[in-house]
Chains A and B, each alone.
Chain A
Amino acid sequence: MTRTEPVGLDHPADPVDDAAPPPVGRAGTWGLTWHGVRTVAVLDLRQRVRSTRWIVALVVWFVVVGGITLLTTGALSEFGSADRSPNSGPILFAAVTALVLGLGLLVTPTLSSTAVNGDRNAGTLATLQVTLLTPAEIATGKLLAAWSAACAFLVTSLPFLVLALTMGGTPAQALVRVVLLVALLLLAVCGVGLGFSALVARTAGSTVLAFITVAAVTVLTPILFGLTYAATTTVEQVTVWGTQNGYGQVGSSDTCEVFTAERGLTHTERTWWLLGINPFVVVADGAGTAELAPGVEGNPLSVIRDGVRELRAGPAPMLDECWNGTSTPVEIRDDLRKDVSTAPVWPWGLGANLLLGVAGFVVAVRRLRIPQRNLARGTRVA
């Protein structure tokens, strides 16, 4: 009888034994803790910093951006010595912005496009998956690591943006806005790269696909816009302000009047969004340069912004074909002027880019779930 009691003593010890393994919550695929994300991000960044010529890459970047900035400065002072003071600052700012964004879009896809399949090929992914890290934590950690690397390049280019700022003509706020917009666009690119790295078995394949996506958004969109330009042009009955017999010639004696005629109208309001999702347009539109410095003309960023907003408005309700100097009557002035909305384009463009990034991220999380049901052709789990 008394013998059974010592055996019973083992039972209180059992819960202690069960408590020894770390507390396991019911966190599923999307469970996210800062601890888990940081663990993966630190792991990825450590590897990246130590195994790649990281410092060399940053130095090369600094030299390239710096060199082009200085060359641009030199060129500006050479050609525009007369009106140097108002224009060279904004032009340089626009040039450095475009350069940083362009190079950023070129470098960033490689930062995340091998994150998942590279680890899988190295045999390190599965060992991480079997831990208590959730798929969302692994994906977020990798995304954060890639984005931090991209932001390091951005930070390296800051001195040159500041330099352009000191040349005047650009509000300081534009610097903040440009840096934030570029950083967010690069985050989207990181997300896209991550998605492809989880989707494709080979690292070369995922990198190419990430580059193609970035190229489609940056290069293909203006080309498509140009190609669809003719398709959006339709012949319609429109009201025209001009001379009936032929176009109002300069100095002709005919007086301008309002009449209806057939004209080809290009409805860019249907295709402007192709330009709107372009990262360069997003940054130019969101930089907020001109309205803060109204005296400055020829600011490239403002030109792009105003151009896209004008294309978004489409054709004006009445065509102005009166070039013979007749003064426009007050009552039709509003019809001749396009009603160009000042509503910003960049939130849509940025949103579209971020949506691509989010899609990539979601794909990555879903592909990191274990246990796996399907295996991609030719992949090993471990």
Chain B
Amino acid sequence: MTSIVDDDGPAAGPPPGAAPGPSTSGSPTPPAGIVVRGLRRSFGSVHALDGVDLQARAGAVTALVGPNGSGKTTLLLVLAGLLVPDSGDVRIGGFDPVADGRSARARTGWMPDTFGTWDSLTSREVLLTFAAAYRIPPAQARTRVDELLATVHLTEFADRPASVLSRGQKQRLGLARALVHSPDVLLLDEPASGLDPRSRVDLRLLLRRLADEGRTVLVSSHVLSELEEMADDAVFLSRGRTVSSSVDSSGPAPRTWHLRALALDAATAWLTSVGMTWRPDDDSLTPPRPVPGGVLLELDGDESAARLLRDAVAAGVPVLSFAPATGLLEQAYLALDEERT
């Protein structure tokens, strides 16, 4: 009797919030997500992947970051079950894409960087074709496709040929295509390219929601600020190797901040008076004038940033904005680039 009451308590509590998804469906199935160990793959003499280790958690968005030619696309092809790795171990939702390809593919949604469409087919037909290819019963497929078209805001283009779609709309259709069979694991190769700002926001919210439902989302992108807003984890890839697989945002790392003031000369005068070193944000050599402008500052840790802002405002500096000049991901990425060169 009491157990029933107890049942209601925790069961009724979490659902209203969107968050419990991972905690309820993610935790009972430990091997979910993507696990990669010592992955190597070369094309002739080119080592596209040269020792990749990564883990993408279920219920989280993992960013895959790296310069051009660092092996991101090759890695995603291996994960999607299209390429045999030379060595290493891959598990997609607990399945090996080489040994048990069908089981892995049934759970994987892959969106390639270049999504070709059958230009003469309508968006609806494209999605229905893929639903059929994933063996979804027709009646179920129709509702699923309508749902997806609404999700990616292509309902009004549903019955027009894909050739009239813009690049961004095609990209959205490609995303819907990857989602058609409700995959547990999503592999997205540059999903944001070609998207307008509104669609980017939609994409971010959608990926967030999918992750909250307990799915594994692995996103590669060059738009680091985008990734930063949606990613929980990050994996850095350089020359076919995972360089680091986390962004250290906890410690007081030195970081560049951007300060904009209504009167730039007042701001620089105050900064100089408190002994801060600053540099103009536009590389101009003209001395600061009493016009709106910005400077860049090197600060170690959020603590000192907060202190600086408080002092500046207290000192009467007309501050317009004060924010980190670069995202954490970008900073980590650039640091990576420095290591490399």
Contact = CB atoms under 8 A, between A and B. Distances in A.
A and B: partners? yes
Given A6-B11, A35-B135, A39-B129, A47 B121 contact: yes
B135 A372 contact: no
Contacts of A43: 118, 121, 129
Given A2-B3, A6-B10, A370-B82, A123 B115 contact: yes
Nearest to B86: A373
Contacts, number: 125
Given A39-B133, A132-B102, A123 B112 contact: yes
A213 B144 CA distance: 46
A371 B116 contact: no
Nearest to A28: B102
Contacts of B81: 130, 370-371
26 contacts: A3-B6, A5-B7, A6-B10, A9-B7, A9-B11, A14-B28, A21-B106, A21-B181, A22-B136, A23-B135, A25-B102, A42-B129, A46-B125, A47-B121, A50-B120, A50-B121, A123-B116, A126-B112, A127-B110, A127-B112, A130-B105, A130-B108, A131-B133, A132-B105, A132-B134, A372-B84
A139 B199 CA distance: 37
A138 to B, nearest CB: 9
A328 to B, nearest CB: 71
Count class of interface residues, chain B: 35 or more
Contact of A130 (B110, B115, B161): B110
Contacts of B73: 382
Contact of A132 (B106, B114, B118, B177): B106
Given A3-B6, A9-B7, A35 B132 contact: yes
Contact of A22 (B11, B118, B135): B135
B24 interface: yes
A122 B181 contact: no
Contacts of B119: 47, 51
Given A36-B133, A131-B130, A381 B120 contact: no
Nearest to A3: B6
B164 interface: no
Contacts of A372: 82-84
B2 A2 contact: yes
B80 interface: yes
Interface string B242-275: 0000000000000000000000000000000000
Contacts of A133: 133
Contacts of A22: 106, 134-136, 181
Given A6-B7, A126-B82, A373-B84, A132 B120 contact: no
Contacts of B177: 127
Contacts of B330: none
Interface string A120-163: 00111011111111000000000000000000000000000000
Contact of B98 (A6, A124, A128, A371): A371
A24 interface: yes
Interface string B40-54: 000100000000000
